[in-house]
């Protein structure tokens, strides 16, 4: 048992050393990371692919530039839940330090990703967590997406963000009859985009009322 623990600790030290050596290469490493990322994403939801994508995500989190952001977004749209979680954390960390870099990457994602990419339903929640002033405008772009699930994610993110200035963005959606599935404890619940938009506007109205000292929100 002690020998196996020693082997584990040695492996961890080796991983950290190799990671530091690779990360020090910065942008020069991106082409090779891009090749490995594409290969792992094509492999699907396997343990080996997940392990590869997790390690690549951590490396990408230390590299500046649009290529690194785009690759993290690609991993966020992959099949591995573990890799998606790590890629999301790395994107969030970058956004707190260099928001414009991630914001531009999100705009590119809206233009380049397949309309059913899982990344497009995850990015709105990332924006809600970051809560930079430009997040409302970016989330407004998601509201115009053709996929109902993407729109629903943006609505929920705006409600979570709690910025009353977002309420007018939701107004055109209150009669949207597209149905989406939302989490309802143990089982999914079907609701319309319009219902989500109405509920979000009500929540934002309550926030505005509190901020204005009890005065009713402007409509």
Q: How confident is the model over 143-198, as pLDDT tens digits? A: 999 999 999 999 999 999 999 999 999 999 999 999 998 875 556 789 999 999 99
Residue 21 pLDDT: 86
Residue 93 φ/ψ, nearest 5 degrees = -60, -40
Residue 82 burial (CB count, 10 A): 15
Is residue 46 predicted with pLDDT exceeding 70?
A: yes
What average pLDDT does range 56-85 have in this prediction?
A: 97
Q: By the 8 A CB rule, do 78 and 84 touch?
A: yes
pLDDT band of residue 51 (cuts 50, 70, 90) is: very high
Tokens 């994107």 correspond to what residue? 91
Residue 47: name the closest of 9, 15, 79 by CA: 79
Is residue 216 predicted with pLDDT exceeding 60?
A: no
Distance CA 161, CA 147 (A): 21
Distance CA 198, CA 193 (A): 9
Residue 48 buriedness (CB in 10 A; 0-12 / 13-18 / 19+): exposed
Q: What is the mean pLDDT of the chain?
A: 92
């Amino acid at each position: 048992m002690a020998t196996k623990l020693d082997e584990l600790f040695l492996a961890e030290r080796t991983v950290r050393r190799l990671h530091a050596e690779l990360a020090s290469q910065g942008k020069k490493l991106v082409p090779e990371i891009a090749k490995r990322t594409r290969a792992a994403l094509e492999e699907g939801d396997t343990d080996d692919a997940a392990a590869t994508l997790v390690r690549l995500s951590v490396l990408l989190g230390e590299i500046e530039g649009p290529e690194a952001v785009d690759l993290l977004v690609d991993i966020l749209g992959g099949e591995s839940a573990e890799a998606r979680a790590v890629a999301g954390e790395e994107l969030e960390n970058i956004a707190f330090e260099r928001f414009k870099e991630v914001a531009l990457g999100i705009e590119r994602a809206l233009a380049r990703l397949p309309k059913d990419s899982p990344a497009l339903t995850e990015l709105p929640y990332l924006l809600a967590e970051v809560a930079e002033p430009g997040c409302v405008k970016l989330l407004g772009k998601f509201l115009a997406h053709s996929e109902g699930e993407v729109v629903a994610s943006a609505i929920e993110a705006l409600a979570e963000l709690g910025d009353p200035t977002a309420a007018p963005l939701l107004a055109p959606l209150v009669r949207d009859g597209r149905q989406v599935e939302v989490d309802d404890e143990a089982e999914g619940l079907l609701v319309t985009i319009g219902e989500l938009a109405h509920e979000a506007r009500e929540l934002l109205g309550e926030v505005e009322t509190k901020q204005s000292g009890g005065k009713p929100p402007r409509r």
